[in-house]
Amino acid sequence: MESVSQIIHARWLITGEQNNQTLENHAIVIDQGKIKAILPSKQATERYTATDIQRFPNHVISPGFVNTHTHIAMNYFRGLADDLALMDWLNHHIWPAERTWVSQEFVRDASQLAIAEMIRSGTTCFNDMYFFLQATAEVADQAGIRANIGMTVIDFPTAWAKDTAEYFSKGIEFYSEYKNHDRIKATVAPHAIYTVAEPTLLKVKEIAEKYDLKINMHVHETADEINQSIATTKQRPLRRLQNIGLVTPRLIAIHMTQLDDEDMAIIEAGKPNIVHCPESNMKLASGACPVVALQKQGLNVALGTDGAASNNDLNMLGEMRSANFLAKLVTQNPIALPAHETITMATLNGAKALGLDHITGSLTVGKAADFIATKLDEIETLPIYHPASHLVYAASRNQVTDVWVAGKQLMKKRKLLTLDEKEIKAKAIYWSKKLTKNA
């Protein structure tokens, strides 16, 4: 018998690949952090031995979720300002709070809370856009999660940088520090076309091409964004981005709720990656991303939660359900976006958007062992006919019991193994009292 690191047996196993496979009574064989084999449990027992053998007779094993758009340190602003339009929410509540409170310590502590929440709901990789990048990266490294962290660029001063030049210099410093890290990668993250001028966007393009980085940007999020662009430049934002050569597969275009025929033609030609954030968009009444139409054009559409200040959680199971129901409602078609396709959006498509699909996003031999176990023999998910449907339509994040990244177990039976839950809760309470006292 061959000796390996781990063998994980499960009642059901969803591969997450495009073939929509759900396997029964199978095992994942893991060695040195990678998937060595996927085969029936009986054969795994006959061929392999390991010191770490775990059995999940009532669980579905699936790829870990890839949360393709976050502002994780905004967890400390969860519930601070609700039931507002986007620009009111930003201008009169979030940006003033950020100017007052955001610091290295704030981002570090809030990142611990957010990453703990993500692990507890099955996320194994996230794509962030915020400030104090090293603070988030240090917490992600400690937690063992996979992270793409955006080198944020915005044309006004913040607690992170006083001007555009400093945003770029700090971003490149971060890239240099983490460019060889196995789990933490950088993107360039211009905030939006209404906060980043064309000369800055040309610099973004130059840096992204020089270092071969993805460009992570809010695009066509609201009707106000479109109207403002037309009023000032007589062009819609996507046309402006196309004119400077930014609408390419390098672009990760987030939200994309306001798309007309001209926009659809631009993105069909340029093939950017699209990130759908249904719950944030619904809460802020921003609009709905036309997911099914984009998929018909052959575009890669992934899922993100946005920040917890506008969602108000980092729960990808909830995001899958919302995305699925919204697609059916928008198209008036109950067979739009089947459950398996929704799971792919939340896993493999996110990895593709980040350029990580050769590493993670599906349960495939040779890829990193990034996966989760979700317990289905609960009152809320019985009886079980189709595990994939249950994962999208019925399961809650509290049913995610175990999480692994690169073969390392980050949560076991709902207990966090790499983060201190008691300390994280205490810090969250401390910061909430501080913010409330000085509100």
Q: Which residues pair with residue 23 across a beta bridge? A: 13
User: Domain with 195 in it: what CATH number?
Assistant: 3.20.20.140
Q: Going by C-beta distance under 8 Å and a sequence separation of 6 or more, which residues neighbour residue 337?
A: 291, 292, 323, 324, 327, 328
- Domain co-membership, 271 together with 245: yes
Domain count, the chain: 2
Would residue 58 count as lying in a domain? yes
pLDDT at site 90: 83
Crossing angle of helices 198-211 and 164-178, in 10° steps, is 10
Q: Supply the range of the domain harboring residue 46.
A: 2-63+370-406
- Domain co-membership, 17 together with 74: no
- Domain co-membership, 92 together with 193: yes
Selection from 407, 408, 384, 145 nearest residue 399 by Cα: 384
Would residue 413 count as lying in a domain? no
- Domain co-membership, 81 together with 41: no
pLDDT at site 438: 66
Would residue 420 count as lying in a domain? no
pLDDT at site 19: 66
pLDDT at site 18: 65
Would residue 434 count as lying in a domain? no
- Domain co-membership, 58 together with 165: no
pLDDT at site 439: 59
Please answer whether residues 36 and 84 qualify as being in contact, where contact means their C-beta atoms are separated by less than 8 angstroms.
no
Whole-prediction pTM: 0.97
Read off the tokens for 346: 């939340």
Would residue 417 count as lying in a domain? no
- Domain co-membership, 325 together with 291: yes
- Domain co-membership, 194 together with 316: yes
Please answer whether residues 341 and 391 qualify as being in contact, where contact means their C-beta atoms are separated by less than 8 angstroms.
no
Over its length of 439 residues, how does the chain's per-residue pLDDT go in tens digits? 899 999 999 999 999 986 678 999 999 999 999 999 999 999 999 999 999 999 999 999 999 999 999 999 999 999 888 888 888 988 898 888 888 899 999 999 999 999 999 999 999 999 999 999 999 999 999 999 999 999 999 999 999 999 999 999 999 999 999 999 999 999 999 999 999 999 999 999 999 999 999 999 999 999 999 999 999 999 999 999 999 999 999 999 999 999 999 999 999 999 999 999 999 999 999 999 999 999 999 999 999 999 998 999 999 999 999 999 999 999 999 999 999 999 999 999 999 999 999 999 999 999 999 999 999 999 999 999 999 999 999 999 999 999 999 999 999 999 999 999 999 999 999 999 988 876 5
Would residue 386 count as lying in a domain? yes
Would residue 436 count as lying in a domain? no
- Domain co-membership, 340 together with 379: no
Would residue 337 count as lying in a domain? yes
Residue 49 host element (H or E): strand 48-63
- Domain co-membership, 18 together with 109: no
- Domain co-membership, 295 together with 324: yes
Q: Going by C-beta distance under 8 Å and a sequence separation of 6 or more, which residues neighbour residue 249?
A: 270, 271, 272, 273
| Angle, vertex CA 348, rays to CA 57 and CA 18, nearest 5 | 80
User: Domain with 25 in it: what CATH number?
Assistant: 2.30.40.10
- Domain co-membership, 134 together with 225: yes
Crossing angle of helices 339-346 and 316-331, in 10° steps, is 130
